[in-house]
Amino acid sequence: MDTLAVNQAIAALRQQGHPLVAGADMGERHSVDFTAENALRPEAVLRPGTAREVSEILKTCNDLGQPVVVQGGMTGLAGGATPRAGELALSMERLNGIEELDEAAMTITALAGTPLQVLQEAAEQAGLLLPLDYGARGSCHIGGAIATNAGGNQVIRFGMTRNLVLGLEAVLADGTVISSMNKMLKNNAGYDLKQLFIGTEGTLGVVTRCVLRLLPRLASTCTALCAVESFPQAVKLLRALQSRLGGSVSAFEAMWADYFDRIIGHSDALRSPFAQSFPVYALVEAEGADQQADAERFEAALGQALESGVIADAAIAQSVGDRQTFWAIRDGVAEITADLTPYASLDVSMDIAEMAGFLDEFDRELKKALPDAINLVFGHIGDNNLHLFVSTRREGDLKTIFDIGYRLTGAHRGSVSAEHGIGVLKRGYLHYSRSPEELALMRRLKDALDPKGILNPGRVIP
């Protein structure tokens, strides 16, 4: 770390009048993302309130060769927002607010530091829907969701964040502001430049504003927790419901018995609706326009699945409370982390046809290497995503777990990151999912847009 260069950058930015906090006044918030790994205080925290200020800050840092880490709500799970030695933190928390909600165009325009939940609630008040949702909704920033192309619970129907972004504004490393604030569904006028900044984790530019697509609010929600005898049966259930219910299936969450039973056993408030344990559970949700008619179709589809033996049992939510309880089981992983720390969390994706073989091989290799390992599996299998929560409660075993998991993911032609991003923590495993030619092209793009390498250096690209 070049202390003289850092101090020079801080002095220059202070002289320009940019809000900047250094030393003990920073607190710990900016030291680490949600992974809680490799915590390190940045040299200083910058808190711009406009795109122009972001531009001025980046231009100054670029001129001086000063590296910058971009930070949003600090809810990331790949270490991408955690500072590295010698970096200034560019916090987007003051770049906050909704600029416009256009009910006719069904779009919402917002600044990058706006929490996802704020956008969801604004859409709901207008009778519309922003169908991007996951557990960190109250604290994550929409700019971070775009930068990581975040997934969530409804990808099976509405797609990833990328599918909802119509336009955005971003600032390049040299301070150039790229404004592509498009509000149209169709626009083939040249390169779709916003794609350079969606899912690239702040390595090519800093998202400062966005235009998101909204959808009509759905009037009905039908939810059920289903018990199945095997993973192949769960896949049959998914396809049967998609066939019977058309495009209304909005969530299909699978939980293997070890995960389900541990969540139930850990919580005094949660109970299984079933009298016995089953190998796999599926949390299914469908949304539509008519609660009574949709509920009848939903129950009929599940009844047929039960009669045909696709499912062994099912509990249909009869109230909002029932639905919340079912989702609390699915989302209960946060409640068990303290007991299993340290743990390895794998977020992988692959063809559904590969999943059973992958899980069998992973269990075999894991038990051979670490006989006392606990492996808890759940995921959004309808969109190819598996989450593996693995622990021996020993820090020294984590690398072994990751090495086995990501190597097997590559062997099954999968992705080492389904929705959490690469950041720092998975950078060394990216070659399992990307070819040498793809990695070389990523480096060419990085060199072209950030030749001095100041934006989120050491992230994503090996």
pTM reported for the whole predicted model: 0.94
Residue 68 has pLDDT above 70, yes or no: yes
pLDDT at residue number 153: 83
Mean pLDDT computed over 299-319: 97
| Confidence band of 457 (pLDDT split at 50, 70, 90) | very high
Cis bond leading into 342, ω under 30°? yes
Q: Per residue in 405-451, pLDDT tens?
A: 999 999 999 999 999 999 999 999 999 999 999 999 999 999 999 99
Residue 23 has pLDDT above 90, yes or no: no
pLDDT at residue number 334: 85
pLDDT at residue number 134: 87
| Confidence band of 26 (pLDDT split at 50, 70, 90) | confident
Q: Per residue in 116-143, pLDDT tens?
A: 999 999 999 999 999 999 888 999 999 9
Mean pLDDT computed over 254-273: 95
Q: For a pLDDT cut of 70, what percent of the chain falls above it?
A: 100
pLDDT at residue number 299: 97
Mean pLDDT, the chain, rounded, equals 96
Q: For a pLDDT cut of 90, what percent of the chain falls above it?
A: 92
Q: Per residue in 366-405, pLDDT tens?
A: 999 999 999 999 999 889 999 999 999 999 999 999 999 9
Q: Per residue in 87-112, pLDDT tens?
A: 999 999 999 999 999 999 999 999 99
pLDDT at residue number 1: 58
